[in-house]
Each structure stands twice: as C-alpha cells, then as structure tokens.
A and B are shown apart, each in its own frame.
Chain A
Amino acid sequence: MMLDDFLIRAALAGLGVALAAAPLGSFVVWRRMAYFGDATAHAAILGVALALGFSVSVFAGALVMSLVMATAVSTLSGRGFAMDTMLGVMAHSALAFGLVGVSFLSGVRIDLMAYLFGDILAVSRGDLAVIWGGAGLVLALLAWRWQALLTATLSPDLAYASGIDPRREQLVLTLALAVVVAVAIKVVGVLLIAAMLIVPAAAARPLSATPERMAVLAAIIAATAALGGLAASFRLDTPTGPTIVCVAALIFAVVMVGSHLTRALGNTS
C-alpha cells in the first residue's frame, strides 16, 4: 500500500498543512496578526507538555492550549491592552513553562526537538487522518465564512452595518488558527508554524489583485514549499521542517526581486 512509504506520508502531511495554513495565513497577514500566530503556536508546547504529563493525545493537548491562548489574546486585544507587550509576555511564558514542564517528565524519553521543529518523517497514518481532518475543517470554515470574514477584515464598521458581527468572525479565525497550530506541530514544529502561515501569503501578495487569488496562490506556494522542502531535505540530509520554511522563504525572495524588477522596467519603458 502506498501509505506504507514514509516519504509519501510525509508529503501528504506537508500538503495538508500547507493547504490549510496558507489561506488562513492570508487573513493573519491582512489583519496584522503575525505575532498572534506566534503566540498561539508557542502556547502549543505547553499543551504538549501537559498532554504528555497526563498521558492524553498530544494533538488534543496542543489544540486545547492553542485555543486557550488564542481566545485569551483575542479577548484582551479588544480591551485596549498594549498588545505587543501582552503577546510577548504570554507567548514566551507559555513556551518557557512548556519547556520546563517537559523536563519534569523524566519517566518518558521525549525528543523535544520533534515538537519544536517537527518530525514529518515520523508521521503515522493516524497523524495523517488528524492532519487532513483538521485541514479540511479549517478550509470548510474559511469557505463558509469567506465573505463575512473579508468584510470584517476590511472594516468592522462596514461589517456591523451589514449585520455581520466582526467578533464572531474573529472567533472563527481564532478557532481555525488553533486547529492549524495543533495539526502543524508534527510537520514544522511550534517554532516555525507562524512561518507557514505568513511566508506563503507574503510571497503571493505582489502577484495578486484580489484576496481570493492571494489565498489560492499562497496555497500553491505553500504546497510547492512543502514538497520541495521534503525533497531537498532528503537529498541534503537536513531537518525537514526548517527546510520547508527555507524553500518558502526562497520563493518569497524570488517573487519580491521579480516584482521589483518588473516595476522598475515598467517605469523606465
């Protein structure tokens, strides 16, 4: 059976995360939530520690902690707190408590690196089901709420006037973010999840005239990075998660240079 091959499973896992993270990442970019994504991802390591401590599923632990952090942050951000400071405090405290927590678990031998940087080559069939289930859920949520999310992103007041509650749309994004973080841990690890959200979307921006095009292009770029990164890491014997992010960053650089050159040429001709 095809899924027996660990490389095929890794490729499918990478694709699943890429396809869900990139469109959600577009919203993260448009709404300037980059740090928000980081904080949610960092909180997940605390979830991992708790899950291992209480012997429950790591996925569930990460999902719950991500949800708690994302909800806390989005609630506080509506109340006039200095958000960059709050996020800095909460994100790094969660990460630190998570790391300390894991160190107490002397009974189990844990490869912490696997959670910090991902371990895509060790993805099991069960992991694949979780990843594609989560990715499908996130894509369905985004597709269902697309118009309302976009209106609320553009202007909360325009949304209110049309009978859309921007706080509910924010909640949808918060939920989607927590799910993506939880399913992406195995693939890129908590430290690089934010990169999978932001880099493909940023690379798609200069090539897009509409939000839909940007989201679709971001998904294509993310998928290319996932597969290219997997291939490169296999060939170069490098850690896979970081290699995927490197490929995405290279695509971003090429697009940026290309679009600047095109504009410069357009101005001179």
Chain B
Amino acid sequence: MRLISAEGLAVRLGGNEVLHDVNLSLDRGEIVTIVGPNGSGKSTLLRVLIGAQRPSRGRITRASGLRIGYVPQKLHIDPTLPMSVARFLNLPRRRPAAALRMALESAGLPDLGPRQMADLSGGQFQRVLLARALLERPDLLILDEATQGLDQPGSAAFYRRIAEVRQEMGCAVLMVSHELHVVMSASDRVICLNGHICCEGRPEIVAQAEAYRALFGTGTEGALALYRHEHGHSHDHDHDHPHSHEAAE
C-alpha cells in the first residue's frame, strides 16, 4: 500500500535550489534509507515530507489519514521549559497511563517517567524521542540521523529496535543516515541523494552504482559500505551468514 509519494519535488532555500526533480514513494512495511554527503538536501527532503517545508515545485500525495512519527536529528529543549519524560510522551496528544508505561518499557526506560528530559543521556534521549513517535502509532516513521552522538553499540541497538518496530507495527520507515555500513545491512532500499536522486535500489545494487561510488569514493567509508556484512565494533551482532568478503579493516 502506497503511503506517501512525491513527484517532481524542488525546494529553494534562500535562493539556492537545494533539491530538484525528486520522485519518491514509500510502501507500508519497507525500510528506506537516504544517504548523501553534507548539504545534499537529506534533512530538507524529510522536512518537506512531514510538511514543515513547502516545496517550490512538485507535489506530495499522502494516503488519507496518514500518521507520521517523526524523530528529529536533535531536539533542543529550552532550559526555561520544564519537561519530564512522561510529560513529553504526552505531546501532542495525551495518552492513557498504561500506554505510557508500555512505551517506556519497550524503550527500555521503565523508571524514567519523572526524570527531566534535560537530565537524560544521549542514548536515553534518542530512545524517548523514538518512543514518543511510536505512541502516535505511525504508518510512517521518519528518522533524521537519529543515532548521531551514539556510540557504535548504542546505534546498533537503536537500529535493531527500528527493525523490531517495523515487525511489530508494520509501519514504513524512512531514515537519513551517515553510517553507511549500518544502512547497507538494515535497509530494504537505499536512496542516494545529492540535490537530486543519484541512484536508488536494493543496498547491494546501489553500492555497485557509479553515482554512489562517485559520492562516497573508495576510501574507508566507501569500502565499509560496499561490504554488506561488515560488522563494525558491535560484537553482539548475529552471525548467521558467512563472511565471504574480506572487509577493509
């Protein structure tokens, strides 16, 4: 089922064309990752899809009643605004206490309800942001570099949670990521963006594409990305597949 589609999107910000000719659609249940260099318009594309940025051309079609759960790259809470975790989870809609308890437990933070958001660690903060987005029971979960500032085990755990969420809720997931090796193992489809969509498709196909290599090169990161089975430094990764490639470590 088609959840959201964009046709011929272009976005101008302060006289610069940040995006042009972007066509994109998402179906229920798929995990799609957007990769691209800094300034390639990744965050802008997400902001257009959630309705925060008006495109200068093109149009967006949403399934009727589409619910979006959005996890921003970072969220600055002004120090003058007192905000407990429980209160935060009640935005923008109030939830029953039981739903909040479940959300905190699924996030692995059962006792943190009364804690101030400002006192959370980076990893806890990200999990609360995700928990809040999930309370919307989204059809589409959108994450903007949600693992920024997490260490490798932390971000690996975060992506495992995303995979679980997709299983449980059957929602589509659209995320932006810098961690190419994670992207390659966690996505059904990869979109390589640099002002426009350079290439897209299954991770192993994209990794071979000319445009992708031109963007990410054949340096360490590019090499890591090429090897879908590269497991980084997270040693709790399931090894249910043979390592047929020699990763460039």
A and B: real partners? yes
**A221 CA to B69 CA, complexed, in Å:** 38
Return A112 CB to nearest CB of chain B, in Å: 34
Return A149 CB to nearest CB of chain B, in Å: 10
Q: B interface, by DSSP: helix, strand, loop or mixed?
A: loop
A211 close to B (CB within 8 Å):
yes
Q: Which residue of B lies closest to A150 (CB)?
A: B91
B98 close to A (CB within 8 Å):
no
**A80 CA to B83 CA, complexed, in Å:** 28
Task: Name the segment of A11-19, A97-105, A151-159, A178-186 touching the other chain.
Answer: A151-159
Q: Which residue of B lies closest to A166 (CB)?
A: B52
Q: Could you tell me which A residues sit within 8 Å of B by CB distance? A: 29-32, 80, 147-148, 150-151, 153-164, 201-202, 205, 208-214
Determine whether the beta carbon of A154 is less than 8 Å from that of B70: no
Determine whether the beta carbon of A155 is less than 8 Å from that of B80: no
Residues of chain A with a CB closer than 8 A to B101's CB = none
B136 close to A (CB within 8 Å):
yes
Determine whether the beta carbon of A147 is less than 8 Å from that of B69: no
Determine whether the beta carbon of B87 is less than 8 Å from that of A210: yes
Contact of A151 among B14, B51, B82, B91 (CB under 8 A): B91
Whether A160 contacts B91 in the complex (CB less than 8 A), given A154-B77, A209-B116, A210-B82, comes out as no
Whether A205 contacts B82 in the complex (CB less than 8 A), given A160-B50, A161-B70, comes out as yes
Determine whether the beta carbon of A211 is less than 8 Å from that of B83: yes
Residues of chain A with a CB closer than 8 A to B84's CB = 209-210
**A165 CA to B91 CA, complexed, in Å:** 14
Determine whether the beta carbon of B94 is less than 8 Å from that of A158: no
Determine whether the beta carbon of A155 is less than 8 Å from that of B51: no
B92 close to A (CB within 8 Å):
yes
B114 close to A (CB within 8 Å):
yes
Whether A209 contacts B51 in the complex (CB less than 8 A), given A151-B92, A214-B82, comes out as no
B19 close to A (CB within 8 Å):
no
**A160 CA to B82 CA, complexed, in Å:** 22
Determine whether the beta carbon of B80 is less than 8 Å from that of A147: no
**A32 CA to B76 CA, complexed, in Å:** 13
Determine whether the beta carbon of A157 is less than 8 Å from that of B87: no
Determine whether the beta carbon of B94 is less than 8 Å from that of A161: no
Return A173 CB to nearest CB of chain B, in Å: 14
Determine whether the beta carbon of B82 is less than 8 Å from that of A161: no
Residues of chain A with a CB closer than 8 A to B83's CB = 154, 210-211
Contact of A29 among B14, B77, B80 (CB under 8 A): B80
Determine whether the beta carbon of A160 is less than 8 Å from that of B51: yes
Determine whether the beta carbon of B50 is less than 8 Å from that of A161: yes
Determine whether the beta carbon of A209 is less than 8 Å from that of B78: no
Residues of chain B with a CB closer than 8 A to A160's CB = 47, 50-52
Return B201 CB to nearest CB of chain A, in Å: 27
Determine whether the beta carbon of A147 is less than 8 Å from that of B52: no
Residues of chain B with a CB closer than 8 A to A202's CB = 80
Q: Give the 6 A-B CB pairs with smallest separation, nearest first.
A: A161-B70, A160-B52, A151-B92, A161-B50, A30-B81, A208-B82
Determine whether the beta carbon of B82 is less than 8 Å from that of A162: no
Residues of chain B with a CB closer than 8 A to A80's CB = 14
**A31 CA to B82 CA, complexed, in Å:** 13
What are some 9 contacts across the A-B interface (CB < 8 A)? A30-B78, A150-B92, A154-B77, A158-B92, A161-B68, A161-B69, A162-B68, A202-B80, A209-B82
**A160 CA to B53 CA, complexed, in Å:** 9
- Interface 1/0 per residue, B79-116 and A, CB below 8 Å: 01111100110011110000000000000000000101
B142 close to A (CB within 8 Å):
yes
Residues of chain A with a CB closer than 8 A to B116's CB = 209
Q: Other than the known A154-B75, A157-B47, A158-B91, what 5 A-B pairs have Cβ atoms closer than 8 Å?
A: A30-B78, A30-B80, A158-B70, A205-B82, A209-B82
